[in-house]
């Protein structure tokens, strides 16, 4: 299959591209490198430095592909509050540009990278795809809900196969966000630097952490599906933040202080997934446990700091 990966030079996209190449797919990566890195794109993939705003070029770039995986989005929640118009333009409008270009270029399948944030505060745990979407507390979450709706609309209008993957909390090597807002890379870098870890809620919040290679495999697994389908992608396990920190310090071989920041408005106490629907549809399952994933992640960040 010829697969077009929008935003494929980043943390998740680079791992995904490697998985696709290993499965003998032909891969084109499009990235404007505002957040991605050319050096992360695996050898064997065709790379285009370009932007989804370039509508004329986009149709030509897409022509001849069988499927698109769209992960071209800004992800910083705090920045989305400060710059909501920017997030709406980049995450929503550019995704609509991509969908329209796909339609005009006869590319009939999209896999969209969504987020567990669409559920808001969960009514029950684990979260399943049948649970209702929740009110959003920031423009980032709103952009995911909006783009999901546009993807579903193109399925309704044109019969475009549309697979929506709702990520839980990805982590792993090659996470080079600037600024970094994800918990695990911030925990790891603080521990390796022997600095205090800032922590809300005494670390009692529960999250579902999914290793990046497992997440990448989920995208490849759904390429054979059709219609409009929604899937959670998580480990099916909730972990307390404080327990994650204890694992990281155990791997590092020493403790660091905790900076207790108290409570923080807007935080959800607990989220974790049921990925049973994805497993039933594709036989995909998370394979990398939290301990193993953290060991790989710590080793990668250690190697980076030694350069």
Cα–Cα distance measured from residue 289 to residue 299, given in angstroms and rounded to the nearest whole number: 16
Cβ-contact 78, 129 below 8 angstroms = no
Q: Go through 84-123 and write b for each residue having 16 or more CB atoms within 10 A of its CB, e for each that does not.
A: eeebbebbbbbbbbbbebbbebebbbbbbbbbbbbbbebe
Catalytic residue among 119, 140, 167, 171: 140
Cα–Cα distance measured from residue 297 to residue 172, given in angstroms and rounded to the nearest whole number: 5
Catalytic: 254? no
* CA 72, 135, 228, 182 torsion-angle sign: positive
β-partners of residue 112 are 70, 164
| Contacts of the segment 102-106: beta carbons below 8 A, 24+ positions apart | 102/62, 102/68, 102/154, 102/160, 103/154, 103/158, 103/160, 104/59, 105/59, 105/60, 105/62, 105/63, 105/65, 106/63
Structure tokens at 14: 């680079």
Q: What one-character DSSP code corresponds to residue 7? A: T
- The torsion angle over the Cα atoms of residues 197, 201, 202 and 205, rounded to 10 degrees, is -90
Closest CA to 1 of 84, 108, 74: 108
Structure tokens at 66: 């069988």
Cβ-contact 221, 228 below 8 angstroms = no
Cβ-contact 70, 101 below 8 angstroms = no
Catalogue the active-site residues. Answer: 140
């Amino acid at each position: 299959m010829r697969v077009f990966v929008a935003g494929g030079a980043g943390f998740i996209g680079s791992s995904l591209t490697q998985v696709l190449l290993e499965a003998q797919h032909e891969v084109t990566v499009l990235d404007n490198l505002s957040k991605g890195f050319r050096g992360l794109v695996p050898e064997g993939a065709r790379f285009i430095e370009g932007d989804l705003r370039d509508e004329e070029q986009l149709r030509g770039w897409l022509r001849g592909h069988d499927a698109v995986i769209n992960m071209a989005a800004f992800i910083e929640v705090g920045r989305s509050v400060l710059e909501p118009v920017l997030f709406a333009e980049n995450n929503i409008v550019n995704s609509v540009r991509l969908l329209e270009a796909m339609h005009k270029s006869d590319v009939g399948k999209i896999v969209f990278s969504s987020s567990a944030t669409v559920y808001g505060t969960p009514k029950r745990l684990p979260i399943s795809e049948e649970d209702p979407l929740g009110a959003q507390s920031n423009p980032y979450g709103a952009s995911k809900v909006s783009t999901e709706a546009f993807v579903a609309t193109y399925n309704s209008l044109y019969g475009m196969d549309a697979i929506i993957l709702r990520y839980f909390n990805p982590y792993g090597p090659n996470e080079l966000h600037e600024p970094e807002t994800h918990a695990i890379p911030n925990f790891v870098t603080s521990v390796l630097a022997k600095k205090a870890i800032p922590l809300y809620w005494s670390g009692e919040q529960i999250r579902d952490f999914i290793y990046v290679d497992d997440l990448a495999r989920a995208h490849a697994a759904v390429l054979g599906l059709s219609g409009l389908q929604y899937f959670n992608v998580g480990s099916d396990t909730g972990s307390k933040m404080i327990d994650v920190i204890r694992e990281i310090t155990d791997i590092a071989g020493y403790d660091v202080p905790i900076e207790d920041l108290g409570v923080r408005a807007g935080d959800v106490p607990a989220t974790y997934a049921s990925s049973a629907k994805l497993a039933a549809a594709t036989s995909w399952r998370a394979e990398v446990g939290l301990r193993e994933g953290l060991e790989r992640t710590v080793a990668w960040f250690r190697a980076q700091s030694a350069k």
